[in-house]
Structure 1
Amino acid sequence: MIVPVLKKGSELKFSDLSNGFLVLIDKPVDWTSFDVCKKIRNTIGMKKVGHAGTLDPFATGLLLIGAGKGTKMMTEFSQASKKYEALIQFGKESDSYDITGKIVNEQEDFNLDYSQIEEVVESMSGEIEQTPPMFSAKKVKGKALYKYARQGIEIERKAVKVRIIESKINFWEKPFLKMNLHVSKGTYIRSYAHDLGKALHVPALLKELQRTQVDNFLLEDSFTIEEFCTFWEKVAA
């Protein structure tokens, strides 16, 4: 099924969009992916609105939204590879593997140099096994892992195979490492940060995350939520 794709600068008419479409949204920090869908749903007046690939509230970047008949394409794009820019902080570990969680381990005095990090990053390329974090929406026995975690219950999770298609170090300035990552579906960047720290014997967590690409769709072509609302007011007038 082919539906129109709304990008920044699109000049489509309302009649082109009335049956459904895809829209590229730059999700702001502190919004859930559901919050974005709800805002889009209320703005356009369509009941069917969904997204491809959840972004955690602290993360920002490209969220692919389907509306109307566009929702039928969400499963396809959820399976697509994705690209991220990640900021990893060494010296701290949290229960959620990111900056929003409870700090469970700290190590102020540690020595890491670029060559050590580069070697481990290289070893974590290609197909790897990754254990989903407890604070995730992945379900075990029909219940999301984060619900167990909030009750203080640790559930045994099976490692799954994911693929790190490409990993590039942008800079290293202790305690921060910025990376670009191109990964297969189902890859948790929080788990990647956690596992990188384990491999280097230094606590680590994900401090910032921005999704820059889903399939062939780019963040630079996306609307902010405010821009989309303004666009819709004009096109629907």
Structure 2
Amino acid sequence: MHISLKGKTALLTGSTKGIGFAAAKGLAEAGAAVVVNGRTQEAVDKAVSSIRESVSGADVKGVAANAGTADGCNAIFDAVPDCDILVNNVGIFGPKDFFEITDDEWQQMFDINVMSGVRLARGYLPKMKDRGWGRVVFLSSESGLNMPPEMLHYGFSKTAVLGISRGLAKIMSATGVTVNSVLPGPTLSEGVASMLQDDVKERGVSLEEAGRDFVKAHRPSSILQRPATVEEVANMIIYACSEQASATTGAALRVDGGVVDSIA
């Protein structure tokens, strides 16, 4: 299968590193004009330069804005009035005891993980519908189905994303616009790597070994028995953004290594 997105513009939130960066690089390799987003100009410039260096002829630019706020989303709209592909990737996570999670932390999780995608979809979907073509991908998580007791606020936000994605797919019915969610499982992104650093230092093991041990201890239902790479997750995102995915909509596309114990 050859995926070509030449002539399409793709905006990816939270794409200066991790899964978002891998997806931005992959979409640039597929020929899309890519817009990288992050909170700081320094991080955005670094990501843009990295993609240009690794993808010959890449059409890539950046927008520094906090997509987790209404003002940040408005700044993105000002810089990128229209796009063909929207990847709502930006998100935060972190373990915390339910009884210690403050109201402000619940609100922050909701604003960044949920409302960023709501605001941007609300702004970009009408033009996609008018053109008769568009792709919207929300980054959910296996935690949206397999609720993690160690970070309930995160799992809740990813369940909300699943509901919004499915509902928007119905709203876009028969328009040529697809809306899907991608559900990664444990993934060896920079954020997860940082979370595992104490274990790496204390036990003197490699990051990969610490990742495998984490999966076995905390996601024992995993069939893969290791974290995915960011590129493995990005491959699913890129497919969902492609012409070839025209009959895939309203779907929850799992890249969880089989963590969710379901045959569906």
TM-score normalised according to structure 1 size: 0.25
Task: From the two aligned structures, give the one with the greater helix fraction.
Answer: 2
**Greater RCO, 1 or 2 (C-alpha within 8 Å, sep 6+):** 1
The normalised TM-score by structure 2 is 0.23
